[in-house]
Structure 1
């Protein structure tokens, strides 16, 4: 069952997303378990600290940046494991930590958090993929991620639509068609994306309706992630420049962005 965790596939996923396996480094500037972010008081205290640490103008911007970071550090690798490696990897929230390494020990120099995980559990695809996939995604979203996003939304305060699109921009690129891929692989990759964004009920996400549907387009009768955002993540308030996907700028100015 845990053999996957020693494979090159998982090791590469860990490396791609800068995941630290084990307890967070002791010399970290700040550490917080994801389970704590389900609690509004703890979440508010952390976001307030995070806002100051990254020099965000307010808690709304800090919360939006954190949601995008969580999408990259947490959601994307779990979706990768599910779709590409056929593995259900569980990050137990009490054993999953956001940590801020000491800047002197951080080669990238980022003030944004990294992820440390211990006590990983895995379950390979052993049953009908449709049933298995629903179970994987319901745990990932309805049980774990959605309550955290709701706490962020209440704490900032911030629209849930912005937070969901922040997650979507991190997982959408995982499903970019690979023309060189094996046909069977392409089929289940597309099926996973269709389910995730079109077919899955709101129950899978712990909300009334699928929150990702509005962030997709249909191309040749196949759902694809939108090339431009619907909502603004407020990145421009952090950096002084707009991102390519920002809905606040016109196409002429967008073409000049790097």
Structure 2
């Protein structure tokens, strides 16, 4: 747990940055919201996914669960990882401290990430070892203490593949660091941010996830030019089923399905 004497408030400019990623103050009685911890209850989780399914345009709960974990992963990880690597601030995104919002408009998420306690721990030391302990606590809360729990619950309730769910999360980790943190961070903090990213992808960082293997590592592959891309992309191993919730079908830029079709056409 974060030590009480190590709790601080985010600065105004830090709040502005993290609010753009969805972080918000918790307010009770928000419509279309549920304490994230209640999603660990089979009945409440099933009911919530059923409510979201028609709003997403998803054909079944398996597709719904995949698209929900994509949204939850971004809303939890973007503020936490950015605050940790850019500001040396630690947010508590454990499932007990989080609220899952699910408003949609025209099948587009309008949700944010309310935290019941938005205070942060601050790393000020130059001691590398103490930062690793501090970092483990932050990452353990958001992964083993939140996302891993939801992956297991969604898998057991809907039978959506764990592999699909974890690649959805992995893609968010990659984009948050490569497109948001490392492109905006002050040069003097770049080494630390790159080390944080590498640590998340390290095969030995299993304790962060509460699993025997790091579920992100297998999805980190070299980017490549494809028949459908102008710039190099990291082609997914699995499909997230997004196309099943769109009319006409729309595929993610790194989806393997249209690439397979394009390659098949080239071979004919």
What's the TM-score, normalizing by structure 2?
Answer: 0.79
**The residue matched to 1:52 in structure 2 has which SS?**
helix
Q: Is the 8 A contact 2:89 2:121 kept in 1?
A: yes
Aligned partners of 1:125, 1:186: CA distance in 2, in Å?
16
Mark the runs of 5 or more structure 2 residues left unpaired by the alignment: 1-5, 224-231, 264-268
1:95 is displaced (CA, Å) by 4.5
1:91 is displaced (CA, Å) by 3.2
Q: Establish whether residue 169 from structure 1 lines up as the match of residue 171 from structure 2.
A: yes
Aligned partners of 1:204, 1:153: CA distance in 2, in Å?
20
Q: Is the 8 A contact 1:68 1:167 kept in 2?
A: yes
Over the aligned positions, Cα root-mean-square deviation in angstroms equals: 2.8
Aligned partners of 1:214, 1:163: CA distance in 2, in Å?
13
Number of residue pairs the alignment of both structures matches? 242
Deviations 1:57-83 (A, max 9, x none): 000000000000001111221111111
1:7 is displaced (CA, Å) by 2.8
Q: Give the corresponding residue for 1:222.
A: none
Mark the runs of 5 or more structure 1 residues left unpaired by the alignment: 220-224
Q: Give the corresponding residue for 1:58.
A: 60
Aligned partners of 2:191, 2:109: CA distance in 1, in Å?
39
**The residue matched to 1:227 in structure 2 has which SS?**
coil
Aligned partners of 2:39, 2:234: CA distance in 1, in Å?
31
1:229 is displaced (CA, Å) by 0.9
Aligned partners of 1:182, 1:6: CA distance in 2, in Å?
17
Aligned partners of 1:189, 1:10: CA distance in 2, in Å?
19
Q: Is the 8 A contact 1:215 1:226 kept in 2?
A: no
**The residue matched to 2:240 in structure 1 has which SS?**
coil
1:140 is displaced (CA, Å) by 1.7
**The residue matched to 1:241 in structure 2 has which SS?**
coil
1:184 is displaced (CA, Å) by 3.8
1:183 is displaced (CA, Å) by 4.7
**The residue matched to 1:250 in structure 2 has which SS?**
helix
Aligned partners of 1:72, 1:43: CA distance in 2, in Å?
19
Q: Give the corresponding residue for 1:125.
A: 123
Task: Work out which of the residue numbers 206, 215, 218 in structure 1 matches 2:219.
Answer: 215
Q: Give the corresponding residue for 1:243.
A: 252
Q: Is the 8 A contact 2:235 2:256 kept in 1?
A: yes
Q: Give the corresponding residue for 1:151.
A: 153
1:83–1:158 Cα change, 3 Å: same
Q: Give the corresponding residue for 1:228.
A: 235
Q: Give the corresponding residue for 1:75.
A: 77
Q: Give the corresponding residue for 1:8.
A: 13
**The residue matched to 1:90 in structure 2 has which SS?**
coil
